């Protein structure tokens, strides 16, 4: 028996990295899992072979999200747990602002959460469901060079989480966020050689209390907790999962 037997869980951006780890974790706990994805067709087919419902859907397009909500309802039933994980990161120095790339991050990282929540809200009202938004510790103030504009979008996710919790609490819906630190995923290692990745990991380790870096499964375990009845009295919160990096930078000379 799993903790989420017969519960319906949707993970946006669920074919890679943190999203995939979350999808697989809920699957192991007995949930009926659906994911959305944009480009990773081969990875989506892998998940389908595991029993996941994979739906091609760009969360920045509300019409596509609306169709995805209909598919999930018709194939699996009403969603009990919504994980707003889909996100993108474009690196750019502050002085080299690229409006097109910034707008794209806003569309996916912020509007994507709004659209997905609104389109699945009728289902979540019926199930008195749970929403978990994936933010970042960058949205609290800690980030690498070139991530300022990405951090702005993740700060928006954090305040959006609080406001959603306030607005939706009357329906019995809990809304929380997870703010990961540096986690080794396709996104964080993109366009870096293995040697560069190791240098980044060493830098991150040197700036955390636990002297370690994270893996997607670390985030998935927190998502399981927040979605469970163990967290029934928790809403409007952002759980930072970064090995103590924020506190390290705040309190160290």
Catalytic residues: 150
Alpha helices in the chain (DSSP H): 17-28, 41-49, 62-75, 99-105, 112-127, 148-168, 186-189, 194-206, 216-227, 245-251
The Cα 10–Cα 63 span in angstroms is: 17
137 contacts 246 by C-beta, under 8 angstroms = yes
Cα separations in angstroms, 202 against 38, 41, 213, 240: 32, 33, 9, 20
End-to-end alpha-carbon separation of the chain, Å?
A: 49
Cβ distance 239 to 222 under 8 Å?
yes
């Amino acid at each position: 028996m799993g903790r989420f037997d017969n519960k319906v869980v949707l993970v946006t951006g669920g074919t890679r990295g943190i999203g995939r780890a979350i999808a697989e974790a809920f699957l192991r706990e007995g949930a009926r899992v659906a994911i959305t994805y944009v480009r990773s067709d081969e990875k989506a087919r892998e998940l389908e072979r595991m029993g996941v419902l994979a739906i091609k859907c760009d969360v920045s397009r509300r019409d596509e999200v609306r169709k995805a909500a209909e598919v999930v309802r018709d194939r699996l039933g009403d969603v009990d747990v919504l994980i707003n994980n889909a996100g993108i990161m474009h690196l750019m120095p502050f002085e080299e602002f690229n409006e097109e790339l910034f707008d794209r991050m806003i569309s996916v990282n912020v509007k994507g959460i709004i659209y997905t929540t609104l389109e699945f809200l009728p289902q979540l009202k019926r199930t008195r469901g749970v929403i978990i938004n994936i933010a970042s510790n960058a949205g609290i103030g800690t980030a690498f060079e070139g991530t300022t504009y990405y951090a702005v979008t993740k700060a928006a996710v954090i305040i959006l989480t609080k406001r959603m919790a306030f607005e939706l609490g009357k329906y019995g819906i809990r809304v929380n966020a997870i703010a990961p630190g540096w986690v080794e995923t396709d996104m964080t290692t993109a366009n870096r050689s293995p040697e560069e990745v190791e240098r980044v990991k060493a830098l991150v380790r040197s700036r955390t209390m636990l002297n370690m870096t994270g893996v997607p499964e670390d985030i998935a375990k927190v998502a399981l907790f927040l979605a469970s009845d163990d967290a029934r009295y928790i809403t409007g919160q952002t759980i930072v999962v970064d090995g103590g990096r924020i506190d390290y930078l705040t309190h160290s000379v």
